[in-house]
Structure 1
Amino acid sequence: MEAVDLPPDAIEVGRIADAWGIKGWFKVLPHSASPEALFSSRRWYLQPPAQGGKAFAGTGLLRIREAKEHSDSIVALAHEVDDRNAAEALKGARVFVPRSSFPTAGDDEYYWVDLIGLDVVNREGVALGQVRELMSTGPQTVLVLAYEAAGKPQERMIPFVSAYVDSVDLPGRRIIVDWQPDY
């Protein structure tokens, strides 16, 4: 695996779970229910796992030959991985792809990574907080906002559905919602 620098727009999209088969395929657990970013990029950047054994250090580049869905995960084959032993050595590695290689989102579709950090205000212009994370509850996604009240960190949750979200302004880094601070 070639040692490289991590691209400045790299986003962590999954981790390698284990080898798959005997010909160098490996199983990837995506961080998203919609792993399009893994399929759209043929260059994956790996970093060692945050904990546990490390078969390599720094950032390595894998040139992906093929990636496909398999059950609840993704399986992939890279030019640099020739057999099961090489695939097993990647176990636990974190997978990054450049944000610029993500497929274009459709109208009124957003990548979660693009929403994190946006300011959320209501229709009256009252600041409700900043998006800290998003949470999937099954039927809908929820914005988890961080804000301060009486000098203490607080959390507010707003369903990310059209009934409450009026607009998302990515260039302006702002989401306007039909929500009140006392909800």
Structure 2
Amino acid sequence: MTLAMNQALPPSEELVTIAAIRRPRGLRGEVVAISLSDYPERFAAGLSVWLRPARGAARPAVIERAWFHKNNVILKFVGLNHINDVEPLTGCQVCVPLSARVTPPPDEFFYDDLIGCQVELMSGEGVGTVVDFAPYGGGVLVVERVHPDGQRQEHLVPFVRAICPDVDVTAKRIRIAPPEGLFD
């Protein structure tokens, strides 16, 4: 059986983080990680991933096994069989190529797909650009508006269907029907 350990990431491929490694677990090469995915199947045995340190290049790895324990995911990678092999992984992100990302169900979106979307009123008038997403309540878009004089202003727009009825992340556009006074 050939493992994906020697696969190179295409230079144009973006990585998406699915977990963050916190620390080694035991002596047999397991690590404790925080799952950043809503999809537990992302950690299936045999999945090729990239381990990206805070500094330096990402390196390929293959998940040998994974299970959830106390709000964490325990990961064991193929070929890393001792604590000395995984201690340097503390702080690494476990990533997959953007092309391997799970497709969310209809009317659900990934935070990073919302960033950069142009926000406009239902009439087509531009409001600004989504620069962040805050997970307060159901979620809040942080929209930056640049005025003609160059002054920047941030607005918080609740990310709910009543206010954001038309979301098209492919076109990078969100059309909103804000309640009166939202931009005052």
Q: What TM-score comes out, normalization by structure 1 length?
A: 0.83
Report the equivalent of 2:152. Answer: 153
Alpha-carbon deviation of 1:136? 0.7
Q: Which residue of structure 2 lines up, in the alignment, with residue 54 of structure 1?
A: none
Q: What is the CA-CA distance between 1:35 and the residue it aligns to?
A: 5.1
Say whether the 8 Å CA contact 2:155–2:183 is kept in structure 1: no
Equivalent position amino acid for 2:19 in 1: G
User: What is the distance in 1 between the residues matched to 2:64 and 2:113?
Assistant: 28
Q: Does 1:84 align with 2:83?
A: yes
Please give the per-residue CA displacement for 1:16-71, whole angstroms capped at 9, x wherever unaligned: 11001222111112345x25574368111122224xxxxxx422001111222222
8 Å contact from structure 1 (residues 38, 97) kept in 2? no
Query: Quick one: structure 1 residues 3 and 89, their matched pair in 2 at CA, closer, same or farther if it must change by over 3 Å?
Result: farther
SS in 2 for 1:100: helix
- Aligned match for 1:11, one of 16, 23, 27: 16
Give the number of aligned pairs: 175
Is 1:182 paired with 2:180?
A: no
Aligned-pair CA distance for 1:4? 3.9
C-alpha separation in 2, matches of 1:154 and 1:44: 39
Which deviations, in whole Å up to 9, do the C-alpha atoms of 1:67-98 show, x marking residues without a partner? 22222222111103111221212111122211
In the alignment, which of 11, 23, 30 is matched to residue 28 of structure 2? 23
TM-score between the two structures when normalised by the length of structure 2: 0.83
Counterpart of 1:118 in structure 2 is: 117
Deviation digits for residues 130-171 of structure 1 (CA, Å, limit 9, x no counterpart): 11111111x311111122123122211111111211111122
Identical residues among aligned pairs (%): 26
Q: CA RMSD of the aligned region, Å? A: 2.4
2:59 maps to: 60
Report 1 or 2 for greater relative contact order, CA contacts < 8 Å, sequence distance ≥ 6.
1
Secondary structure, in 3 states, of the residue corresponding to 2:89? coil
Of the three residues 45, 49, 71, the one matched with 2:50 is 45
Distance 1:67 1:116 in 2: 31
- Kindly indicate whether the alpha-carbon contact (under 8 Å) linking 2:31 and 2:75 is maintained by their aligned counterparts in 1: yes
CA contact 1:116–1:131 (8 Å) conserved in 2: yes
Q: Which has the larger radius of gyration?
A: 2
User: 2:43 is aligned with what amino acid?
Assistant: F
CA contact (8 A) 1:16 1:26 kept: yes
Any gaps of 5 or more consecutive residues in structure 1?
51-56
Tell whether the 8 Å contact from 1:4 to 1:59 is kept in structure 2 after alignment.
no
Pair 1:90–1:68, CA change in 2 (3 A)? same
Q: Unaligned regions of 5+ residues in structure 2, if any?
A: none
Q: Taking structure 1 as reference, are residues 6 and 25 closer, same or farther at Cα in structure 2, changes over 3 Å only? A: farther
The structure-2 alpha-carbon separation of the partners of 1:123 and 1:37, relative to structure 1 and needing over 3 Å to count, comes to farther
Q: What one-letter code is carried by the residue in structure 2 that aligns with 1:59?
A: A
- Given that 1:37 and 1:103 are in contact with CA atoms closer than 8 Å, whether structure 2 keeps it comes out as no
